[in-house]
Amino acid sequence: MDVNAGQILNLLKKNLILILAISILFAGAAFGFTKIFIDNTYQSTVKFCVSTSDRGSGSISDDVTAFAYAQRLVNTYIELLQTNSFFTNVAKELGDRYSAGQLKQMVTFSSLNDTEVFQAQVIAKSQTEAKLVADTVAQLAPGVIANYNEDAELKVVDPAMVPQDPVAPNPVVNTAIGFVLGLLLSIAFVFIRNYFDIRIKASDDITAKLGLPVLAYIPNFESVAKQNT
């Protein structure tokens, strides 16, 4: 059966209330699930800067070389700080409230725009815990770097702060996703229900579904009478 754009729009228009009701229901369910079942998570960030002992010698070429050297060291230092031994020390400093494995999931190191600066981002379910872990990482990281390379120094250039707002979940985004999902499912339901609906609703349906011409039809006398009055 051929379906044109006009028929599709008419079908959606006739089922508009149903489509909106299902969409709003899904949006409300997504909002409620987000608020009730998903815990807030907070992020605290500390930034480090790698500096070498021969920086500032007065020679531009030497400074450029030292800068490039520090850039290369950033990735090495990030790898050193992602080791189990480092997170084990962090766990001990925190009183073993977290395991090394848990801390590895909570802390993410990343370099910043090919500079000497890199950061540690801590995700936790508590605002104070996020800052506490970030502060502990900032406290222990310079010692790890000093043991590896005496010619380089790791400095904290941006200390961790207590986060004010959660980074996840986002109720607005989840509600919007729920609405869109409900919209798509409701439209699919309307099309499927209409496809399997074999009832004859108009004279054109006889020709479309049975391939038979319509010779005559009986009008609705009540509607005709109302029109004539």
Q: What is the pLDDT of residue 60?
A: 45
Q: Domain of 46? A: 42-158
CB-CB contact of 116 with 71 (8 Å): yes
Same domain, 26 and 53: no
Residues 56 and 152 occupy one common structural domain: yes
pLDDT tens string 5-37: 888 899 999 999 999 999 999 999 999 999 999
Whether the pLDDT of residue 80 is over 60: the answer is yes
Q: Is the pLDDT of residue 206 over 80?
A: no
| Same domain (yes/no): 128, 186 | no
CATH of the domain at 82: 3.30.70.1130
Would you say residue 164 has pLDDT above 80? yes
| Residue 76 is assigned to a structural domain of this protein | yes
Measured in residues, the chain has a length of 229
Same domain, 68 and 32: no
Residue 178 CA to residue 170 CA, distance in Å, equals 12
Task: Indicate whether 65 and 122 sit together in one domain.
Answer: yes
The reply to whether 53 and 93 lie within a common domain is yes
Q: Where are the alpha helices (DSSP H) in the chain?
A: 5-14, 16-37, 60-81, 84-93, 100-106, 127-148, 171-195, 203-210, 221-228
Residues 107 and 152 in one domain: yes
Check whether residue 145 and residue 61 sit in a common domain. yes
- Kindly state whether residue 138 falls inside one of the protein's structural domains: yes
Number of structural domains (the chain) is: 2
Beta-strand relationship, 152-158 and 42-52: antiparallel
What is residue 38's three-state secondary structure?
coil
- Regarding pTM above 0.75, the answer is no
Three-state secondary-structure class, residue 213: coil
